[in-house]
Structure 1
């Protein structure tokens, strides 16, 4: 039986792949191009995490990541007219993937014996880096570089996850709470237009 984290990983892969394929469809990519964007979105963050942790990237061992992306591709093909037209579809699947991958990344780093702050960083990379690569592929400014709360939601969720662990909660309960925190932080930030302060530099003046 797959572990709870493994299930979260596959569900997150499916959700993130849909977010990438949905944007690729809106940009009029062909099927192959859309699949590549979905795959990069789904495995990009985890690949960077695994390379930093000096372990073999998960998708090179388990073909389920490629299969989940193919299933996401089929989902968008079958329900494309609904998926592409709904403006909040991308946001929903992207936020679900962000939450689940943050938990997966934190869990993997923490289980390998890394301190909590490294685990939080790995959770944030797992959650946010795939979206950065997706946006680069479709020629958009990555969400992480905009005013929206994105990677910071991963940090908050990872911190809550760690607090739950040190308080003695069961691992799967901590994972659910941590992932829910990421999801709510992102949703509430967008709903109430909560943003981080903008770093302002000196304005250039014409001489």
Structure 2
């Protein structure tokens, strides 16, 4: 079950990475690379933290989703103005699955629930963080107008709760992933935010650089 959901999550993240490559004007090799980094990055970090050989290199099937994603984006890329919205949709889908599978794998290794949720968040946001850094855009993880990590924490926490209650099964995995997906997209649509690092009483000096770019609308 873990491998199946891992592969589906890798595919969603890889599509988001390849769409970002198309948006940035990369060639198809760049699309394959960025899709691979986005899809596989979080899982590799997760497995290294678990002190085991990354599943990516043990099972070649893990490289299939990024290849499929790059070919799919190459053949069916929509109008360029729609790419940003599609990146967000596929990224949210990958986040929903990876925060669940990352938490689940940590629990299988007898991690305590808090640490397992943390590892689930790292698994969920790791690939997207690498994608944004390579693409030279502000990572969603640090965007105050995006509850990226909060959505992953929510999904990971639900996973740990159902696991502790021994109610965990494939239906629960899909339900938690879908709920995390819906929360991420709802936050983008309705502009949900988390507090900034500085309190509301803080006022930046006129010479201080802006903290972010223009607000993104989903």
| Fold match (TM-score > 0.5) | yes
Match of residue 39 from structure 1 = 36
Q: What CA deviation, in whole Å up to 9, does each residue of 1:3-27 have, x standing for no partner?
A: x221111111111101001011111
Match of residue 203 from structure 1 = 204
Give 1:82 shift.
Answer: 5.2
From 137, 140, 149, the equivalent of 1:140 is: 137
The answer to whether the aligner puts 1:194 opposite 2:192 as a matched pair is: yes
From 56, 59, 65, the equivalent of 1:59 is: 56
Separation in 1, partners of 2:10, 2:153: 20
Separation in 1, partners of 2:95, 2:22: 20
Q: Where does 1:1-207 land on structure 2 (aligned, <5 Å)?
A: 4-81=1-78, 85-147=82-144, 148-200=146-198, 203-204=204-205
TM-score of the superposition, structure 2-length normalised? 0.87
Q: What CA deviation, in whole Å up to 9, does each residue of 1:108-150 have, x standing for no partner?
A: 1110111111111111111101000000111001000001110
Specify whether residues 194 and 81 from structure 1 end up closer, same or farther in structure 2 by C-alpha distance, changes over 3 A only: closer
Contact 2:113/2:160 (8 A) holds in 1:
yes
Aligned residues: 203
Contact 2:98/2:120 (8 A) holds in 1:
yes
Give 1:167 shift.
Answer: 2.8
What RMSD, in angstroms, separates the aligned Cα atoms of the two structures? 1.8
Q: What CA deviation, in whole Å up to 9, does each residue of 1:57-105 have, x standing for no partner?
A: 1111111121111111110111013587354211111111010111111
| Unmatched tracts of structure 2, length 5 or more | 208-218
Separation in 2, partners of 1:12, 1:83: 24
Separation in 1, partners of 2:149, 2:158: 14
Specify whether residues 144 and 109 from structure 1 end up closer, same or farther in structure 2 by C-alpha distance, changes over 3 A only: same
Separation in 2, partners of 1:35, 1:116: 35
Contact 2:104/2:159 (8 A) holds in 1:
no
Separation in 1, partners of 2:16, 2:36: 10
Separation in 1, partners of 2:205, 2:185: 36
Separation in 2, partners of 1:84, 1:32: 22
TM-score of the superposition, structure 1-length normalised? 0.91
Separation in 2, partners of 1:158, 1:124: 7
Give 1:49 shift.
Answer: 1.0
Specify whether residues 125 and 83 from structure 1 end up closer, same or farther in structure 2 by C-alpha distance, changes over 3 A only: farther
Comparing 159-168 with 13-22, which one deviates more in the overlay? Answer: 159-168
